[in-house]
Amino acid sequence: MPEKRLTVVTYNIHKGFSPGNRRFVLHQIRTALLSVDADVLFLQEMQGEHQGHEQRINDWPDCAQVEFLAKEAWPHYAYSKNATYSNGHHGNAILSKFPLLSWENINVSSFRQASRSLLHGVIDTPKTHKPIHIICIHFGLFAIERQRQIAILCDRIDSHVPHDAPLIVAGDFNDWTCVAEDYFSKHLNLQEAFYSLHSCRPRTFPAWLPFLSVDRIYYRGLQPLSCERLMHAPWRNLSDHVPMIATFQL
């Protein structure tokens, strides 16, 4: 990796199941993520525990999904449990090659069964003299709940992220109408990496024929060098979302 560059991936992994929940593909997801060799992963719908799947699925990992994905590649990670149910729980995760100086999960769920959160971490990288703030998000399906969640995100950044600190906000925004854009650009000076480089929105859902722009990577205090959708094999068969990958000059 060239000096002072940072590569990140955001991916809704659909709890390790293929589109339509036809196959358990967490092992293939790990292989695919290893192949892109990103510095930081922003992952949504990470299965923390599911007792039924553990008993029924033969190749279910013998450890938590976040530990299984991070093993020997991303030594620093954080998982936030948001959606809980009788068999287990799921939420968001950050996996990093660099130390996590701190992390905190802010639950913004409007419904108990929905995983909606801001997982805010700070990483220490030798590539820059400043800590980098990273926020992994998964927003709601309904406009009224997204408005509240956007407001909480704005307040969180205003109160906890210095204005001169590098910042990346990535995840599943469920904001296909791009309502969040005005808030982010006007109030937070956040720019969307794919749009900055390609002048259009990244269509990432559903994976087999993407036409909704729901997964995005926002930034400030960095320079985007590239941002692409991972559309080639095997990604379209691994989740119902297409992952995004971006490289920044720090």
CA-CA-CA-CA dihedral for 62, 47, 245, 218, to nearest 10: -140
pLDDT digits (tens, 9 = 90+) for 55-81: 888 899 999 999 999 999 999 999 998
> Looking at the 3D structure of the chain, how many domains does it have?
1
Give the separation between CA 41 and CA 183, rounded to whole angstroms: 24
Quickly state the pLDDT bin for 111 (edges 50, 70, 90): low
Residues 40, 69: Cα–Cα separation, whole Å: 12
Question: What's the whole-model pTM score?
Answer: 0.94
Q: Which of 165, 88, 96 lies closest to 136 in space, CA to CA?
A: 96
Q: What is the pLDDT of residues 14-28, one digit of tens each?
A: 999 998 888 999 999
Annotate 82-105 with b (16+ C-beta within 10 A) or e (fewer): bbeeeebbbbbbbbbbbebeebeb
At residue 147, does pLDDT exceed 60? yes
The band of 1, judged by pLDDT with boundaries at 50, 70 and 90, is: very low
Do 83 and 114 meet the contact criterion of CB atoms below 8 Å apart? yes
pLDDT at 139 over 50: yes
**Count of beta carbons in the 10 Å neighbourhood of residue 159:** 7
Domain harbouring 179, CATH code? 3.60.10.10
**In which domain, by residue range, is 185 found?**
5-249
Q: What is the mean pLDDT of residues 30-52?
A: 93
**Between helices 143-160 and 180-188, what is the axis angle to 10°?**
20
Instruction: Answer for the pair 136, 167: CB distance below 8 angstroms, yes or no.
Output: no
